[in-house]
């Protein structure tokens, strides 16, 4: 006796298998299965087996995509907000640092290179003028001296005077403060305040 042939159950209208859903959503069958395991898509028992309700699955997948998009947008907004806050912190820190440097400059505990250069240049010109004046001062004195030893002693005396003058040079914080105020235009403001 021949065994009766099983007929393939008819497909239920509106219910599709995994492969057709994958084609509809332009995904792989594996991705459809993963979405089902994650609870995004649901299958239903039909005479042909487990199938997806096309309308329901489409709505659920669209809802899932919107949720993913919202999460990404929220994450981007959070990153933008974090970046904005970090930029504000950086700006405020930089402004505070500039204020600290300006205060240190006004207090005379820090000097700009240009101020040090200007003061040093003044000192060098002062030394230069003393050295340039030395031959004129020594010409008459050394002409009257009788021996090279006396001439050498007189020149040594003049050099020692210049060196003594240089050794008495001292750091004047007020000179630096004056330069800072002049550069910043604060000297005029203080003069105006004192005049009132």
- pLDDT at res. 184: 72
* Percent of the chain with pLDDT strictly greater than 90: 28
The partner residues of 50 in beta bridges, in order of sequence, read: 45
Pairing of strands 49-53, 15-16: antiparallel
- Mean pLDDT score across all residues of the chain: 83
What is the spatial distance between Cα 157 and Cα 139, in angstroms, rounded to a whole number?
14
Q: Which are the contacts of 48, defined by CB distance < 8 A and separation ≥ 6? A: 8, 9, 10, 11, 12, 15, 17
Give whole-number Cα distances, 163 to 129, 157, 175, in Å: 13, 10, 22
Is the pLDDT at 185 greater than 80? The verdict is no
Tens-digit pLDDT profile for residues 63-105: 999 999 988 988 888 888 888 889 988 898 898 888 888 788 7
Q: What are phi and psi of 122, to 5 degrees?
A: -60, -45
């Amino acid at each position: 006796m021949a065994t009766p042939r099983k007929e393939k159950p008819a497909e239920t209208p509106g219910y599709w298998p995994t492969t057709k859903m994958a084609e509809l959503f332009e995904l792989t069958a594996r991705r459809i299965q993963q979405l089902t395991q994650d609870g995004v898509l649901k299958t239903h028992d039909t005479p042909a087996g487990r199938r997806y309700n096309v309308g329901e699955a489409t709505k659920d997948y669209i809802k899932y995509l919107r949720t993913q998009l919202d999460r990404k947008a929220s994450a981007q907004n959070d990153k933008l907000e974090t970046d904005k806050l970090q930029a504000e912190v950086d700006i405020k820190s930089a402004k505070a640092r500039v204020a600290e440097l300006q205060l240190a400059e006004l207090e005379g505990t820090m000097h700009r290179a240009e101020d040090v250069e200007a003061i040093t240049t003044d000192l060098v010109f002062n030394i230069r003028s003393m050295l340039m004046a030395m031959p004129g001062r020594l010409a008459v004195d050394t002409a009257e001296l009788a021996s090279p030893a006396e001439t050498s002693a007189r020149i040594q005396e003049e050099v020692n005077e210049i060196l003594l003058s240089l050794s008495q040079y001292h750091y004047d914080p007020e000179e630096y403060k004056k330069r800072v105020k002049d550069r910043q235009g604060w000297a005029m403001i203080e003069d105006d305040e004192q005049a009132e």
